[in-house]
Structure 1
Amino acid sequence: MFDHLREDWRTYDRQLSRQGLWVMAVYRFGRWRYNIRQRWLRLPFSFLYKFLQKAMEILTGIELPCEVTLGRRFRIDHFGGIVISGDATFGDDCIIRNGVTVGLRYTGQRGAPIIGNRVDIGAGAKILGTIHIGDDVAIGANAVVLQDVPANCVAVGIPARILSRKNREVEPSDEAQIAKNAGPASEVLV
């Protein structure tokens, strides 16, 4: 836990005033408590985590449950209105901004997005459903992503159109070629 907290401290430029850092500290504490094997010993830590998590949600507007799988150097650039499903998975060096939702597409249906490495998610973006986002992807502000996004692409619009980095729309037949050249989005599993 302390190694992760030190890395988070560096990720947030050693600024204690960053709300994302507060949320990450509570997230790391929540993950750490699962290392306590005896339930009766873990119980007070679980109570403290639930209290701290709710306090962070109220203070920052960021819902980041400890069940989320985060890669290294996860960064919340702006706070407020961020909701992340406990089933979501993020790779390394991901950045999210205010108003982002990463989660379930339908109520009562399990499965959340798997997001690759170095993914930049713009303000207000919604990434929903059991989809894969490849490495080095940019999700535009207010985009609604409901389908897989191959590596090295940009997703913009409602619903999101997938563009290659050369600013042309990716046709369904092109997606296979991009995935072949850049590595399939299905290999993004963290």
Structure 2
Amino acid sequence: MAMSFFEDLKVYREGLLAQGFWALQVYRFGHLRYRFQSKLVRVPLGIAHVILSKLIEIGTGITIGVTAKIGKRLIIEHCGAIVVHGCTEMGDDCIIRQGVTFGIKNIDRPFDAPVLGNRVNVGAGAKLLGKIHIGDDVDVGANAVVVTDVPANHIAVGIPARIKPKKPTTSGQPTT
């Protein structure tokens, strides 16, 4: 856990003052309890996590389900109204901003949450709903509502989101 702490810290411009960093660390602390079999260890860790996560929710407006799977170096760029469903999976080096929701699309399918690849950039106010797969190097535009899969190196913009390939630049790197 100490290594991920410093690896996460390295990507935050505000360092220890970044609220998103602390929300991520509370999530990682809560997720840590699953490494232990003994109830004597798991129960106290679980109680501590519930208290800390509620304080984070009140103070930052960020809710991260403890059973979510989050990769390395997640950046929560701005706080407020961020919800990450407990069945969500995120790859490494993703960025999310304020008002983002990763959640379910249908109430009768409570475990169908988004799966994100690596280097996914999610704009403010975006909603990613249902059991959708977002490929590597995808940009999701601000306020987009994504309810279908997005292939790697594409962008998703609009309500409902339209999926478009990124335009290659002269350097060969895709851009939006």
Length-normalised TM-score, structure 1: 0.85
Is the aligned partner of 1:103 residue 2:103? yes
AA of the residue aligned to 1:60: T
1:47 is displaced (CA, Å) by 0.5
Q: What corresponds to 1:23 in structure 2?
A: 23
Q: Which runs of 5+ in 1 are unaligned?
A: 168-190
Contact kept, 8 Å, 1:53 with 1:65, in 2: the verdict is no
Q: What corresponds to 1:64 in structure 2?
A: 64
Separation of aligned partners in 2, 1:35 and 1:147: 33
Equivalent positions of 1:15-94 (< 5 A) are 15-94=15-94
Is the aligned partner of 1:164 residue 2:165? yes
SS of equivalent residue, structure 1 residue 16: helix
Is the aligned partner of 1:118 residue 2:119? yes
Separation of aligned partners in 1, 2:108 and 2:56: 25
Aligned residues: 167
Separation of aligned partners in 2, 1:134 and 1:102: 15
Is the aligned partner of 1:154 residue 2:155? yes
SS of equivalent residue, structure 1 residue 155: strand
Contact kept, 8 Å, 2:100 with 2:125, in 1: the verdict is yes
Separation of aligned partners in 2, 1:20 and 1:156: 24
1:43 is displaced (CA, Å) by 1.1
1:98-134 CA-partner distances (Å, limit 9, x unpaired): 0000111111312111101111000000000111001
Separation of aligned partners in 1, 2:19 and 2:7: 16
Choose between structure 1 and 2: higher helix proportion: 1
Is the aligned partner of 1:140 residue 2:135? no
Choose between structure 1 and 2: higher strand proportion: 2
1:37 is displaced (CA, Å) by 1.6
Contact kept, 8 Å, 2:65 with 2:87, in 1: the verdict is no
Post-superposition, which runs of at least 4 consecutive aligned residues in structure 1 deviate over 3 A?
none
1:13 is displaced (CA, Å) by 3.5
Separation of aligned partners in 2, 1:101 and 1:140: 13
Query: Higher mean Cα deviation, 49-58 or 105-114?
Result: 105-114
Identity of aligned residues (%): 50
Q: Which runs of 5+ in 2 are unaligned?
A: 169-176
1:3 is displaced (CA, Å) by 0.9
Q: What corresponds to 2:172 in structure 1?
A: none
